Amino acid sequence: MSDKNKTAILLLKDGTSFIGKGFGATGKISGETVFSTSMVGYTETLTDPSYKGQILALTYPMIGNYGVPSPILDLGLPRCFESDRIQARGLVIHELCYEPYHWASTRTLDKWLTDEGIPGIYGIDTRRLTKKLRTHGVMLGILQVFNENQKPDIDALLKECDNIHDPNQTDLVKEVSTKEPCRYSVNGKLTVVLIDCGVKFSIIRCLLTRGINVIRVPYDTSANEILTYNPDGILVSNGPGDPKRNTKTIETVRVLAEKLPLMGICLGTQILALAFGADTYKLKFGHRSQNQPALDLNSSSCYITTQNHNYAINMETLKQTQLEPWFINPNDKTIEGIRHKTKPVFAVQWHPEASPGPYDTDMLFDKFKKTMEAK
Amino acid sequence: MPKFDWIHKILVLGSGAIKIGEAAEFDYSGSQCLKALQEEGIETVLINPNIATIQTDPRLSGKVYLLPVTPEFVEKVIAKERPDGILLGFGGQTALNCGMELAKTGILDKYNVKVLGTPIAAIENTGDRERFRQAMLEADVPPLKSGSATSVEAAMRIAEDIGYPVIVRVAYTLGGRGSGVAHNVDELKETVTRGIVQSRIHQVLIEEYVGHWKEIEYEVMRDYADNCLTITNMENFDPMGVHTGDSIVVAPSQTLNNREYQKIRQTSINAIRHLGIIGECNIQWALNTKSEEFRVIEVNSRMSRSSALASKVTGYPLAYIATKLSLGYLLPELINKVTEVTTACFEPAIDYITIKVPRWDLQKFKNADRHVGPQMRSVGEVMAIGRCFEEVLQKAVRMLDIGKIGLVCNPEDYEPESEKRIRGELANPTDEHLFKISKALRMGLSVSEIYRLSGIDPFFLNKIKNILDMEDKLRKLNLNEPAAIEIIREAKRIGFSDEQIAVCQRTNATAIRNFRKNNKIIPCVKQIDTLAAEYPAKTNYLYMTYGGDEDDITFSNNASKVIVLGAGVFRIGSSVEFDWCGVNTVWALKKNDVKEAIIINYNPETVSTDYDVSDKLYFEELTTERILDIYDKENPLGIITSVGGQIPNNLSVKLTDLGANILGTSAENVDLAEDRSKFSALLDKLGISQPPWSKLVTIEDAKRFAEEIGFPVLVRPSYVLSGSAMRVAYKNVSLENFLKMAAKVSPDHPVVISKFITGAKEVEVDGVSDGENVLIGAIMEHVENAGVHSGDATMTIPPQALKPEVQKDIENCTQRIVKALKIQGPYNIQYLVKNDVVNVIECNLRASRSMPFVSKVRGINLIDQATLAMLGKKINIQLSPMTATSHVGVKVPQFSFMRLSGADPVLGVEMLSTGEVACIGENFSDAFSKALQAAEVHIPPKDGTILISIGGDQDNKKRVIPIAQAFQEMNFRIYATANTAKVLNDSGIATTVLYKVRDAQVNPNILDYLQDKKIDLVINVPVTNHKEDYSDILTDGYIIRRQAVEFNVPVITNLQLAEALIDVLKKNNSNGQSIRSLNEYMDEIPWKQW
Identify the three-state secondary structure at position B485: helix
A330, B534: Cβ pair inside 8 Å?
A: no
Helix axes B676-686, B804-820, angle to 10 degrees: 120
Say whether the peptide bond before residue B1004 is cis (omega within 30 degrees of 0).
yes
**Cβ-based neighbours of A269, under 8 Å, separated by 6 or more:** A236, A313, A337, A338, A347, A348, A349
Of the partner residues B258, B332, B348, the one whose CB lies closest to the CB of residue A356? B258
Per residue in B278-321, pLDDT (tens digit) is 999 999 999 999 999 999 999 999 999 999 999 999 999 999 99
| CATH classification code of A7-169 | 3.50.30.20
Average confidence (pLDDT) over B762-771: 97
Cβ of residue A334 closer than 8 Å to a chain B Cβ: no
Q: Does B225 touch chain A (CB under 8 A)?
A: yes
List Cβ neighbours of A146 (8 Å cut-off, separation of 6 or more): A6, A7, A8, A9, A22, A26, A152
Q: Do domains B555-595+616-663 and B664-686+757-938 have the same CATH topology?
A: no
Tell me the one-letter amino acid at B846.
Answer: R
pLDDT at B1027 over 80: no
What is the DSSP code (8-state) at residue B206? E
Chains A, B: CB contacts within 8 A come to 167
Does the pLDDT at position B1028 exceed 50?
no
Interface predicted TM-score (ipTM) of this complex, two decimals: 0.97
DSSP one-letter code for A151: P
* A64 and chain B in contact, CB less than 8 A: no
d(CA A255, CA A52): 28
Q: What is the DSSP string of B895-963?
A: --GGGSTT------SS---SEEEEEEESSHHHHHHHHHHHTTPPPPPTT-EEEEEE-SSHHHHHTTHHH
- pLDDT score recorded for residue A122: 98
The stretch B247-253 carries a mean pLDDT of: 98
Report yes or no: B389 at the A interface, CB cutoff 8 Å.
yes
Of B12, B6, B44, the closest CA to residue B27 belongs to B12
Q: What is the reported pLDDT for A2? A: 43
CA B1049, CA B663: separation in Å to the nearest integer?
Answer: 48
Which residues of chain B have a CB within 8 Å of the CB of A355? 258, 262
Q: Is A373 a catalytic residue?
A: no
Task: Report percent pLDDT > 90 for chain B.
Answer: 81
**What pLDDT, on the 0 to 100 scale, is given for residue B1?**
59
Per-residue pLDDT of B419-478, as tens digits, reads 999 999 999 999 999 999 999 999 999 999 999 999 999 999 999 999 999 999 999 999
Domain ranges of chain A: 7-169, 172-374
3-state secondary structure B384-409: EEECCHHHHHHHHHHHCCCCCCCCCC
At B381-429, the pLDDT tens digits run 999 999 999 999 999 999 999 999 999 999 999 999 999 999 999 999 9
Inter-chain touch A62–B289, beta carbons under 8 Å:
no
Number of DSSP helices (H) and strands (E) in chain A, helices first: 11, 23
Question: What is the CATH topology of the domain spanning B555-595+616-663?
Answer: Rossmann fold (3.40.50)
Chain B positions touching A301 (Cβ under 8 A) are 225-227
Question: Is-contact B933 B47, C-beta < 8 A?
Answer: no
CATH superfamily of the B145-209 domain:
ATP-grasp fold, A domain (3.30.1490.20)
Instruction: Please answer yes or no on whether A127 and B265 come within 8 Å at the CB atom.
Output: no
Q: Is A114 on the interface with B (CB under 8 A)?
A: no
Q: Chain A within 8 Å of B346 (Cβ-Cβ)?
A: yes
Interface of B with A in 241-260 (CB under 8 A): 252-259
Q: Is B1 exposed, middle or buried (0-12, 13-18, 19+ CB in 10 A)?
A: exposed
Are residues B252 and A39, on separate chains, in Cβ contact within 8 Å? yes
A172-374 in CATH: which number? 3.40.50.880
A130 contact residues in B (CB cutoff 8 A): 351, 532-534
Interface of B with A in 392-421 (CB under 8 A): none
What is the nearest CA distance from B291 to chain A, expressed in angstroms?
Answer: 7
Confidence check: pLDDT of B1070 > 60 = no
CA distances from B284 to A193, B172, B373 (A): 42, 17, 16
User: B255 and A293 in contact by Cβ < 8 A?
Assistant: no
Domain locations along chain B:
9-118, 145-209, 356-524, 555-595+616-663, 664-686+757-938, 692-755, 940-1049
B692-755: CATH homologous superfamily? ATP-grasp fold, A domain (3.30.1490.20)
By C-alpha distance, the chain B residue nearest A69 is: B257
pLDDT at position B368, please? 85
The rounded distance, in Å, linking the Cα atoms of B258 and B261 is 5
Contact B351 A127 (CB under 8 A): yes
pLDDT at B1038: 87
CATH number attached to the domain at B9-118: 3.40.50.20
- Whether B554 has its CB under 8 Å from any CB of chain A: the answer is no
Catalytic residue status for A197: no
Q: pLDDT by residue (tens digit) across B912-938?
A: 999 999 999 999 999 999 999 999 999
Looking at the whole model, is its pTM more than 0.80? Answer: yes
Per-residue pLDDT band at B998 (split at 50, 70, 90): confident
C-alpha distance from B462 to closest chain A C-alpha (Å):
7
To test the contact with chain A by mutation, choose from B230, B257, B457 the residue with the greatest count of A C-beta atoms within 10 A, namely: B257
Residue B36's pLDDT is 96
**How far is the alpha carbon of A209 from chain B, nearest alpha carbon, in Å?**
16
Q: Residues B516, A271: contact at Cβ < 8 Å? A: no
Confidence (pLDDT) at B727: 85
The alpha carbon torsion through B506, B511, B517, B519 (nearest 10 deg) reads -50
pLDDT number for residue B1029: 45
Which CATH code is given to the segment(s) B940-1049?
3.40.50.1380
Length of chain A: 375
Q: What is the DSSP string of B697-763?
A: SSHHHHHHHHHHH-S-EEEEESSBSSS-S-EEESSHHHHHHHHHHTB--BTTB-EEEEE--TT-EEE
**pLDDT bracket for residue B366 (50, 70, 90):** confident
Contact list in A for residue B392 (CB cut-off 8 A) is: none
Interface test with A, best of B258, B287, B391 (most A CBs within 10 A): B258
Residue of A nearest to B388 (CA): A62
Q: CA of B1061: how far to CAs of A13, A36, B973, in Å?
A: 79, 64, 16
The span from the first CA to the last CA of chain A, in angstroms, equals 58
Q: What is the biggest distance separating any 2 CA atoms in chain A, rounded to whole angstroms?
A: 66
Q: Give me the tens of pLDDT residue by residue for chain A, a chain 375 residues long.
A: 345 689 999 999 999 999 999 999 999 999 999 999 999 999 999 999 999 999 999 999 999 999 999 999 999 999 999 999 999 999 999 999 999 999 999 999 999 999 999 999 999 999 999 999 999 988 999 999 999 888 888 889 989 988 899 988 889 999 999 999 999 999 999 999 999 999 999 999 999 999 999 999 999 999 999 999 999 999 999 999 999 999 999 999 999 999 999 999 999 999 999 999 999 999 988 899 999 999 999 998 999 999 999 999 999 999 999 999 999 999 999 999 999 999 999 999 999 999 999 999 999 999 999 999 997
CA-CA distance, A261 to B582, in Å (whole number)? 63
Which candidate in A94, A197, A266, A309 is catalytic? A266
Q: Check pLDDT > 80 for residue B27.
A: yes
pLDDT tens profile A15-34: 999 999 999 999 999 999 99
In the prediction, which pLDDT does A1 show?
39
A20 by DSSP, 3-state: which?
A: strand
- Is A95 within 8 Å of chain B by CB? yes
What is the pLDDT confidence band of residue B179, given thresholds at 50, 70 and 90? confident
Distance between CA atoms of B287 and B92, rounded to whole angstroms? 26
Q: Is A353 a catalytic residue?
A: yes
Cβ distance B347 to A354 less than 8 Å, yes or no, reads no
The whole-chain average pLDDT of chain B stands at 93
- From A37, A128, A330, residue closest to B332, measured CB to CB: A330
| Interchain CB distance below 8 Å, A131 and B552 | yes
B722: confidence class by pLDDT, cuts 50, 70, 90: low
Q: Which residue of B has its CA nearest to A65?
A: B255
On whether the CB atoms of residues A206 and A73 are closer than 8 A, the answer is no
Give domain B356-524's CATH architecture.
Orthogonal Bundle (1.10)
Residues in chain B: 1090
- The pLDDT of residue B717 is 84
The single-letter DSSP state of residue B216 is E
pLDDT of A246 reads 96
Is residue A165 packed enough to be buried (19+ CB in 10 Å), middle (13-18) or exposed (0-12)? exposed
Strand partners, A95: A62
Tell whether the model's pLDDT for residue B723 goes beyond 90.
Answer: no
Residues 134-173 on A with a CB inside 8 Å of B are 134
* Beta strands A54-58; A90-92: pairing state: parallel
Give the pLDDT confidence score for residue B1069 in this predicted structure.
55
**CB spacing of A358 vs B536 below 8 angstroms:** no
Other Cβ atoms less than 10 A from the Cβ of B828: the count is 22
According to CATH, the superfamily of the domain at B664-686+757-938 is: ATP-grasp fold, B domain (3.30.470.20)
